[in-house]
């Protein structure tokens, strides 16, 4: 291959960290090739004054980048995997998922060291319905506020506000060197992460065999296995990143354990289930867990959540 490989990404600090991480990994393996990063603004980047749940979630942070990929403007698209819809556009394929960072959520707090230590009248910020549902299930006595912006912007807004705490993903905080602000890494037993949280997706055209072969060299098999189960769970529930659904898969004892969560917006009705299976059945594991949740009323909970969010 003698062509330059163009890598498309959003322009936030975290997105650029992810793109540069992928670029460096590829350059290490293919020192004779040239890689260039190109930033693309997405719908989610342009609309900053509206809650994400109010503006839809299908490709909110990916659609424009995928359009550039399909048109040949770029050769690789880099996404936070949690932002990537479970059904890709025709002609596109995930060429790799990188080794996953710790997928947990974290508490950013001015005084309390944990969710349980927050005062009864605490105001906690999050832009995620999944986090809101689980937070209110744990602490129905607190008030949840919406917050938007990239990670440094949210930190800045939080420090200048009268908010008591905020919840973000560990991966973004750690990758940007903001660990000093973390009060608690929230255990999965309290808050199940978003599907794919902590993983980076490398997307390419399905017909571009050369580029897919390049991407495959930085694929992490264990991460791919886990996110396959998680995304199958989400796909079966017809969910997206703006509905109160979470999943967390880990490789244990030669198999895969998958924790799933579905909850109401006020946290009063929550379903949590866990199943295990063999690696070869990653998709089936996600589908089976979704079926268990549906039997327990997940469809009704999500229908109500979607109607309340409209």
Q: Which residues are known to be catalytic? A: 83
* Residue 260 Cα distances to 93, 215, 231, 244, 275, angstroms: 25, 29, 11, 11, 9
> In the structure encoding, which two tokens stand for residue 307, read together?
């109607």
Question: CA 250, CA 282: separation in Å to the nearest integer?
Answer: 11
CA angle 23, 29, 31 (to 5 degrees): 80
CB atoms within 10 A of CB 165: 25
Question: CA 303, CA 209: separation in Å to the nearest integer?
Answer: 40
Helix (H, G, I), strand (E, B) or coil at 153: helix
Helix (H, G, I), strand (E, B) or coil at 16: helix
Which helix (H) or strand (E) segment is 67 a member of?
A: helix 63-71
Q: CB neighbours of 130 closer than 8 A, spacing ≥ 6?
A: 192, 194, 243, 244, 245, 246, 261, 263
């Amino acid at each position: 291959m003698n062509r330059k490989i163009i890598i498309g990404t959003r322009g936030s600090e975290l997105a650029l960290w992810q793109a540069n991480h992928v670029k460096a990994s590829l350059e290490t393996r293919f020192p004779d090739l040239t890689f260039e990063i190109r930033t693309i603004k997405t719908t989610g980047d342009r609309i900053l004054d509206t809650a994400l749940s109010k503006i839809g979630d299908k490709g909110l942070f990916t659609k424009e980048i995928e359009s550039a990929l399909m048109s040949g403007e770029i050769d690789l698209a880099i996404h936070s995997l949690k932002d990537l819809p479970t059904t890709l556009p025709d002609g596109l394929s995930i060429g790799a998922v990188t080794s996953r960072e710790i997928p947990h959520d974290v508490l950013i707090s001015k005084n309390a060291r944990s969710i349980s230590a927050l005062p009864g009248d605490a105001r906690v910020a999050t832009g995620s319905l999944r986090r809101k549902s689980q937070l209110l299930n744990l602490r129905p006595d607190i008030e949840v506020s919406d917050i938007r912006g990239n990670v440094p912007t949210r930190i800045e807004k939080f420090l200048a506000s009268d908010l008591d705490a905020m919840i973000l993903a560990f991966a973004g905080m750690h990758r940007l060197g903001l660990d000093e602000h973390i009060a608690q890494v929230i255990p999965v037993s309290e808050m199940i992460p978003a599907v794919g949280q902590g993983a980076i997706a490398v997307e390419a055209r399905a017909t571009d065999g050369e580029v897919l072969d390049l991407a495959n060299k930085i694929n992490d098999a264990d991460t791919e296995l886990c996110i396959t189960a998680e995304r199958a769970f989400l796909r079966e529930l017809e969910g997206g990143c703006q509905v109160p659904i979470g999943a967390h898969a880990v490789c244990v004892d030669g198999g895969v354990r998958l924790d799933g969560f579905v909850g109401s917006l006020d946290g009063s009705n929550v379903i949590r289930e866990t199943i295990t299976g063999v690696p070869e059945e990653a998709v089936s594991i996600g589908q089976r867990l979704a079926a268990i949740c549906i039997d327990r009323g997940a469809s009704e909970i999500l229908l109500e959540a979607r109607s309340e969010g409209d």
